[in-house]
Amino acid sequence: MSRNLDFPIPPPAASAASVPPLPATPEMAPATPRAGTGIGRSIVLIGLPGAGKSSVGKRLAQMLGLPFHDADLEIEAAAGLPITEIFARYGEPHFREGERRVIARLLAGPPLVLATGGGAYVDPETRRAIRESGALTVWLRVEIPLLLPRVSNRATRPLFLQQDPEAVLQRLRAARHPIYAEADLTVDCCDESPEDTTARVQRAIEGFSAPARLPVALSGREYDVVVGEHLLERAGGLLSGALPGRRVAIISDASVAALHLPALRGGLEAAGFTIGASLTIPPGEGSKSLASFGRVLEELLAAGIDRNTAVVALGGGVVGDLAGFVAASALRGLPFVQVPTTLLAQVDSSVGGKTGINLASGKNLAGAFWQPRIVLADTGVLATLSPRELRAGYAEVAKHGLLQGPLWDWCEAEGARAVAGDAAALRHAVLESCRLKSAVVAADEREESAEGGRALLNLGHTFGHAVEAECGYDGSLLHGEAVALGLGLAARLSARLGFCEAGLPGRVEAHLAAVGLPARLAELPRRFPVERLMARMRKDKKVREGRMRFVLLRAPGQAFTWSEVPPAEVESLLRDEGCLS
């Protein structure tokens, strides 16, 4: 009997010989990937028995110009035994260990198409090995009525021995589908020819764009910001490794829920998640209140949440801030997930763990630092935003550009494309903003740095929050629009104090105006009393020992915090910008 030591079957007592790897068969022979396919990594097919992994895999490999391997055949060849006998002699744990080694060996080589056994991807270590190899995982999802005739001749397979095939499939579906949902791609297979299925799989692969993962590395813990399209439909698979259980409570607002809640629910339920509660709040900044906070807490507790129930925020910054504060407070802290659906939330408020509500005295004056377990920024949902909402979110991108430098150059050159809804430009804006913010948050999680640090992310916010609060959060001025005004004022204050070139404020305001944002206070239909704005700024969270602290600029990419700004200079600036004395 010939054995390959990649499959660790204990040898008989009289023999301990090592056999070199099996020679390639014609089916396994290397092939050159076909030009233009864009496939630079291995393809791993997963699914229940009878899903067509081998028949589709062989055809797919030929279409892509890649070698094909069947993991079960490789295992039998390596062990010199049929799989039924491996199970009977050594048990499933030993089989899974050998299966994992065989799959890891195959994926360590050049790109190929690999059909796996139905239970391979269910094994956590095998799943991890597949991910670490960089392979693209494709789940061939087939409903049981189509599988039944295909498995009728599987009596020699261990799971079907002396068993009712339909009962076996039902059991496997319940156990495996939630894990298969973690695959990169899902292709629903119907009653069609293998050629047609293969063609659909090929189109799905060639149209696939892997989401980016940006780590936020905190002391003792790290979480990912995942940026890409179609993440809501894959939410369960993406969340499963980040949460302690598969029970969630969703908090959204009525407008967002009507658009995106069905996709999120479907993505969660496909991975076996239970949705213990689904709550909605009215849209708008007015929902970030003590009254809303108390009501949502009471409704969650009435729904029977426990310490392993994760709070999922589906919506913009208002939903994320409120739901995060609820998660931090309920039962002294629940796991939290951000699923931002606005540009503003995707580039800013969903990352970093700041949560809170507004008080009569000002914005975000009650809250907590409560980091999410994961952030899913589905850039595809941005297509549902109104032009005004998209522009408002872009203000935070411009802020990040001024903080980072090169991103500001990109904003001036390409920002108009993002505001116009260009998918590639929006993805770049979200990625680069999250990249900047994640680095800043990792270095100063709780905004404790004496100077600079996380406080820099408040560029424009001291002015902007004061104006927004003075408007009463009535929707006449969106948060992003207030930030845009604040960026212009911060640049003008920097120039007045001699920190930056005199031309920078005009440059900032010209870009904001070019993308349709308000750039000057004088452009608003109302006038603000100087003393009322000053009083609000004196209550800002960044105040230290009674002194207002501003984020100022020397140039794009050179921001700093400053606590020595003379109040008279701020008052003079506000009067020059049209405020009432």
Give the Cα separation of 431 and 227 in Å (integer).
7
Say if residue 546 carries a ligand binding annotation: no
Task: State how far Cα 213 lies from the chain centre.
Answer: 7
Is residue 479 among the annotated active site residues? yes
pLDDT in tens, 165-196: 899 999 999 999 999 999 999 999 999 999 99
Q: 449-577: same fold as 212-385?
A: no
CATH class label, 43-207: alpha beta
User: In this structure, what DSSP letter does residue 515 have?
Assistant: T
Residue 422 predicted with pLDDT over 70: yes
Could you give the residue ranges of the DSSP H alpha helices within 142-210? 144-150, 165-180, 194-206
User: Where are the chain's structural domains?
Assistant: 43-207, 212-385, 449-577
Q: Out of 247, 354, 536, 549, which one is annotated catalytic?
A: 354
Cross-strand pairs, 253: 281
Crossing angle of helices 317-329 and 290-302, in 10° steps, is 60
Provide the 3-class DSSP secondary structure of residue 260: helix
Burial tier of 512 (Cβ tally within 10 Å: 0-12, 13-18, 19+) = buried
Q: How far is Cα 324 from Cα 356, in angstroms, rounded to an integer?
A: 7
Gap between the Cα atoms of 447 and 49, Å rounded: 53
Please indicate whether residue 501 is annotated as part of the active site. Answer: no
User: Average of pLDDT values for 132-149?
Assistant: 95
Question: Pick the catalytic residue: 234, 461, 492, 541?
Answer: 461
Q: Is the pLDDT of residue 543 over 90?
A: no
Distances (CA, A) of 18 to 98, 100, 493: 15, 19, 76
**Catalytic residue status for 447:** yes
Mean pLDDT of 212-229: 93
Report d(CA 49, CA 51) in Å as an integer.
Answer: 6
Which residue in the list 265, 427, 458, 509 is annotated as catalytic?
Answer: 458
Catalytic residue among 247, 437, 541, 549: 437
- Decide if 400 is catalytic: no
pLDDT score of 75 more than 60? yes
Percent of the chain with pLDDT over 90: 81
The pLDDT mean for the chain works out to 91
Catalytic residue status for 542? no
Domain 212-385 top-level CATH class: alpha beta
Q: What pLDDT does 7 receive?
A: 62
Q: Is 69 a catalytic residue?
A: no
pTM for the full predicted model: 0.87
Q: Provide the 3-class DSSP secondary structure of residue 390.
A: helix
Let me know if 562 is exposed, middle or buried by CB neighbors in 10 A (0-12, 13-18, 19+): middle
- What's the count of helices (H) and strands (E) in the chain, helices before strands? 21, 16
Q: What is the distance between the alpha carbons of residues 365 and 453, in angstroms, rounded to a whole number? A: 20
For residues 541 and 364, is the Cβ–Cβ distance under 8 A?
A: yes
177 assigned ligand-binding residue: no
Q: Which CATH number fits domain 449-577: 3.30.160.100, 3.30.200.20, 1.20.1090.10, 1.20.1440.130?
A: 1.20.1090.10
Which of 283-287, 492-496, 537-541 has the weakest average pLDDT?
Answer: 537-541
pLDDT over 80 (residue 25): no
The single residue of 465, 511, 541, 549 carrying the catalytic annotation is 465
* Averaged pLDDT for residues 398-419: 98
55 known ligand binder: yes
Determine if residue 72 is labeled as part of a ligand binding site. Answer: yes
